[in-house]
């Protein structure tokens, strides 16, 4: 029987979707090794503890609450040290966190502090005897690598949306935990948080993504992409490298092998030809729709459904049809 530690990520006092996914993964691993405890650590400003009680829903037995006003923004050094000291003071088989902007920073810090092996961007995990076996999409999603991790604790950073947060409800005990070091004394200080477009989910979380490429011909035509995303209601907007290089959209919107890698339920590619480096970012989407005027465009080879036509004509028609379909619900 072994215990598992989860870093349950928050933004401010709100839990992020990947936190529930990470807890779920830990719960499954704990159940597979004799039913030990899952301890979820949350760090945030006052009130985060209350929000975090809901982690019991996904299987957390204990919620370790690190509350401090300076944890409103990402106090990476203090959090890393706090998690590490907790891991040193108790015995955990593995530490699970999300491979998010925070997780990419925390995971390696923890690995170094604890001298613990780390596997990132994991899409599948099993415990087999003494070792952990994980799957990880490498070479920009072109090759699935199976890795074995030996040693405890193992640090597992899970790909957001790759695991479903499943219910395994229990009443989680809240335990306050003091930050191991002063969160205001970090050497990397957050001086500003710039919020993105309101009302749209992030590319990592969105079930639907509408992405636009050069076929839109001009930056102002991106409005059609945004309108379609709005019609779906829960969609994020992405872009190809071609249009982010031109400055039509910010680099953070770029989907591709050096940009964001996404796996939504539905990916609508508008005016995108389907260059290999773009496909690497979205080919694991569950359903792909492509709209392009060139029948020979490579995107049609990966799309489940394609429409050949002028995007400036087809997209507004699709937006209208989606709005009507949604009204019918």
Closest approach of another protein to the CB of residue 266, in Å: 4
Q: Does 151 bind another protein (CB under 8 A)?
A: yes
Our CA angle for 17, 21, 24, nearest 5°, is 145
Q: Which of residues 3-32 bind another protein (CB under 8 A)?
A: 11, 16
Is residue 15 within 8 A of residue 52, CB to CB? The reply is yes
Cβ proximity to another protein: between 89 and 329 the closer is: 329
Q: Does 308 bind another protein (CB under 8 A)?
A: yes
Closest approach of another protein to the CB of residue 134, in Å: 9
**Which range, of 26-34, 55-63, 143-151, 163-171, touches another protein by CB under 8 A?**
143-151
Q: Which residues of 55-65 are buried (b: 16+ CB within 10 A; e: fewer)?
A: bbbbbbbbbbb
Q: Which of residues 193-212 bind another protein (CB under 8 A)?
A: 193-197, 200-205, 207-208
Q: Which of residues 56-95 bind another protein (CB under 8 A)?
A: 73-74, 77, 80
214, 209, 232: which is closest to 292 by C-alpha?
214
Among 4, 7, 248, 300, binds another protein (CB under 8 A): 300
Q: Does 136 bind another protein (CB under 8 A)?
A: yes
Residue at token pair 């993964």: 25
Cβ proximity to another protein: between 168 and 201 the closer is: 201
Closest approach of another protein to the CB of residue 295, in Å: 7
Is residue 57 within 8 A of residue 171, CB to CB? The reply is no
Pairing of strands 266-270, 208-212: parallel
Among 148, 175, 178, 217, binds another protein (CB under 8 A): 148
Q: Does 129 bind another protein (CB under 8 A)?
A: no
Strands annotated E in 38-180 = 38-44, 62-67, 94-98, 118-122, 124-128, 131-138, 143-150, 154-158, 173-176
**Which range, of 47-55, 58-66, 86-94, 298-306, touches another protein by CB under 8 A?**
298-306
User: What is the distance between the alpha carbons of residues 285 and 47, in angstroms, rounded to a whole number?
Assistant: 36
**Which range, of 28-36, 133-141, 161-169, 216-224, touches another protein by CB under 8 A?**
133-141
User: What is the distance between the alpha carbons of residues 250 and 290, in angstroms, rounded to a whole number?
Assistant: 22
Among 87, 149, 180, 239, binds another protein (CB under 8 A): 149
Q: Which residues of 26-52 are buried (b: 16+ CB within 10 A; e: fewer)?
A: bbbbbeeeeebbbbbbbbbeeebbebb
DSSP-derived letter for residue 159 is: P
DSSP string, 4-16: EEEE--EETTEEP
Q: Which of residues 92-121 bind another protein (CB under 8 A)?
A: 100-102, 104-105, 107-109, 111-113, 115-121
Q: Which of residues 158-197 bind another protein (CB under 8 A)?
A: 187-197
User: What is the distance between the alpha carbons of residues 192 and 263, in angstroms, rounded to a whole number?
Assistant: 30
Q: Which of residues 215-234 bind another protein (CB under 8 A)?
A: 232
Q: Does 53 bind another protein (CB under 8 A)?
A: no
Cβ proximity to another protein: between 23 and 314 the closer is: 314
- In the numeric block, which tokens belong to residue 227? 């309108």
């Amino acid at each position: 029987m072994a215990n598992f530690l989860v870093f349950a990520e928050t933004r401010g006092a709100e839990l992020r979707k990947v936190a529930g996914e990470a807890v779920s993964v830990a719960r499954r691993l704990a159940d597979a090794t004799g039913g030990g405890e899952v301890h979820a650590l949350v760090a945030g400003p006052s009130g985060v503890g209350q929000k975090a009680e809901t982690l019991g829903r996904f299987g957390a037995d204990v919620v370790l609450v690190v509350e401090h006003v300076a944890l409103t923004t990402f106090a990476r050094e203090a959090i890393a040290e706090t998690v590490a000291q907790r891991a040193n003071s108790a015995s955990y088989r593995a530490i699970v966190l999300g491979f998010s902007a925070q997780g990419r920073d925390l995971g390696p810090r923890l690995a170094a502090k604890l001298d613990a092996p780390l596997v990132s961007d994991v899409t599948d995990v099993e415990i087999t005897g003494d070792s952990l076996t994980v799957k990880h999409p490498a070479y920009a999603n072109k090759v699935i690598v199976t890795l074995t991790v030996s040693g405890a604790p193992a640090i597992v950073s899970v790909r957001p949306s790759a695991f479903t947060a499943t219910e395994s409800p229990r009443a989680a005990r809240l335990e306050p935990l003091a930050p191991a070091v002063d969160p205001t004394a970090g050497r990397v200080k957050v001086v500003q948080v710039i919020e993105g477009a309101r009302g749209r989910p992030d590319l990592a979380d969105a079930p639907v993504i509408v992405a636009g490429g050069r076929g839109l011909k001009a930056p102002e035509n991106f409005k059609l992409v945004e309108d379609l995303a709005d019609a779906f209601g829960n969609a994020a907007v992405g872009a190809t490298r071609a249009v982010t290089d031109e400055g039509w959209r910010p680099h953070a919107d770029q989907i591709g092998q050096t940009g964001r890698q996404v796996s939504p339920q539905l990916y609508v590619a508008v005016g995108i030809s389907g260059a290999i480096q773009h496909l690497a970012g979205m080919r694991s989407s569950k359903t792909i729709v492509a709209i392009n005027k060139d029948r020979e465009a490579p995107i049609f080879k990966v799309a489940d459904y394609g429409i050949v036509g002028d995007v400036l004509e087809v997209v507004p028609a699709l937006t209208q049809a989606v709005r009507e379909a949604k009204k019918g619900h």
